Amino acid sequence: MMERWARDFDSWDLVDGTTRYLFLYTKHAWSKAVAWSSRRGEYVRRAAFVLMAWLAVHDKKVSDEDFRRLLPLILEASTDDRNYVKKAVNWALWQIGKRNRKLHRLAVQAARQMQAIDSPAARWIASDALRELQSAAVRQRLKP
């Protein structure tokens, strides 16, 4: 059913609401986030990264290693210059980096890697993510 619904996505707000209030709570949330991250359709690909962001915020039982494995997918998608995808990739990186100090360090490293990619989208994501992840509020929240 998630695949059928995803094929019908046609707006960012539908993607965000469906992933937050429905897909996040299914046993397939993780597998769909990974699988959809390589799809070409703009809204399905957005769904992958929005789902990653929601998982980072709400799935408290998952290990850091599971989130670490999402970072290469985020890095790979960072060159997608479509606005709705770019913003979702950025959001996923932020939220993973805000979970704890270890993931914060890894997310900052990923953002620094993005800075070196010859892509305006990757550089925008890196710049915006670093601004957020290095903000006083995030540093204070992650303080030991």
In the predicted structure, residue 83 carries a pLDDT above the cut 90:
yes
What value does the mean pLDDT of the chain take?
A: 97
54: which DSSP letter?
Answer: H
In the predicted structure, residue 4 carries a pLDDT above the cut 90:
yes
pTM of the model: 0.96
The CATH code of domain 2-141 reads: 1.25.10.10
CA–CA dist 38, 13 (Å, integer): 21
- The pLDDT, as a whole number, for residue 31 is 98
- The pLDDT, as a whole number, for residue 61 is 93
Buried b (16+ CB within 10 A) or exposed e, 20-35: beebbeeeebbebbee
Q: Where are the domains of the chain?
A: 2-141
Q: CA-based Rg of the chain, rounded to a whole angstrom?
A: 14
Residue 144: band (very low, low, confident or very high) from pLDDT cuts 50, 70, 90: confident
- The pLDDT, as a whole number, for residue 126 is 98
- Residue 38: count other Cβ atoms within 10 Å of its Cβ: 11
